Structure 1
Amino acid sequence: MKRLRFVLEVHRATHRIGLFLEAVEPPLGLSQGEAHLLAYLLEAGDTSLSELHQAFAHKRSTLTSYMDRLEAKRLVKRESRPEDRRSFQVLLTGTGRALATRVHRRLEALEAAVLERLGDEDVEGLTTGLEALAEVDREARPARKPGSRKKVPKS
């Protein structure tokens, strides 16, 4: 059996980012996934659910759960898109924008502290490695038509 060289480190790094977000005072009151969605919306602006799905590679049900919770907290709202009323646009509310700004500043501080310890080649190598991971994942999962469901084998 080969020893895993980076997968566990990626997992631990993701967990550590969550711990870094949890340590903020006053507490954010968000899950790590919710925090990342707010930070993304702050950077990207109004975004479709489809674009969020592509950006985060969440299962659709997971993304819907996050959106439901963020909407219940009045941090985002979903509106029908004028060009296609079957799809929705996600917008930050005023409260959501303020909290997203706190999240983003916290993540900026983490990134800045890490970048101080890395050279340009390290950052480039890390980015290349993460892009390769995403590419392998995309290739490993067959594309499904929108709206199609995964078939569950009968037992």
Structure 2
Amino acid sequence: MDETPEEAPQEVAAALSELATGLVRHILADRQSMSLTTASTLSRLEQEGPIRLTALAMAEGIAQPSMTALVQRLEAQGLASRVSHPEDGRVRVIAITDAGRELLAERHRAQRGRVADRLAALPERDVRALSEAMHTALPIVRRMLQEAPRPGNTRGESAS
């Protein structure tokens, strides 16, 4: 990469975008089992804990009626439930169930398996090079994402 300092962020952004898009397409090749919106919603519930339906819709970038329908489907499948807010029992929040956690865990195992299969087809030197690159890049990307403002953060918490 021979670019000026002004071009460097744009080149890195383009490369990261290409990497992310390619991996996401491959990892999520089996979309019959769950839509990306459903998986994202369950992942958010798992990572952030119970959340109000309106905040969940905003965070996922979908209309509240669509989120209501999605949550109803998740409830019917036993993947999410409405529970009392820990600080205000009159308020109901959406939470992931143990079945939802297990489904996400299985989905993640399958995704890692698809990537591992692709890695196994590469020469050992390429796998080593990717490993070294990931050890360098992953902590940097994690910091970059943690420092970015999170959409839908209704609790007033920092992103870190």
CA distance in 2, matches of 1:133, 1:47: 22
Query: How far did 1:102 drift?
Result: 3.5
Aligned equivalent of 1:35, options 30, 33, 39: 39
Query: How far did 1:130 drift?
Result: 0.6
Tell me, yes or no, if the aligned pair for 1:79 and 1:88 is still in contact at 8 Å.
Answer: yes
Tell me, yes or no, if the aligned pair for 2:49 and 2:95 is still in contact at 8 Å.
Answer: yes
Where does 1:99-138 land on structure 2 (aligned, <5 Å)?
Answer: 99-110=103-114, 112=116, 117=127, 118-119=130-131, 121-138=132-149
Is the radius of gyration larger for structure 1 or structure 2?
Answer: 2
Tell me, yes or no, if the aligned pair for 2:42 and 2:96 is still in contact at 8 Å.
Answer: no
Amino acid at match of 1:2: E
Aligned equivalent of 2:85, options 81, 105, 112: 81
Corresponding residue SS for 1:79: strand
CA distance in 2, matches of 1:19, 1:67: 24
CA distance in 2, matches of 1:84, 1:13: 43
Matched, 1:23 2:29: yes
TM-score, normalised to structure 1, is 0.55
CA distance in 1, matches of 2:62, 2:50: 12
Higher strand share: 1
**% same residue:** 18
TM-score, normalised to structure 2, is 0.54
Aligned equivalent of 1:47, options 46, 49, 56: 49
Amino acid at match of 2:19: A
Corresponding residue SS for 2:95: strand
Number of equivalent positions: 131
For structure 2, the residue ranges without an aligned partner over 5 or more in a row are: 1-5, 121-126
CA distance in 2, matches of 1:98, 1:128: 27
Matched, 1:90 2:95: yes
Query: How far did 1:30 drift?
Result: 0.8
Amino acid at match of 2:7: K
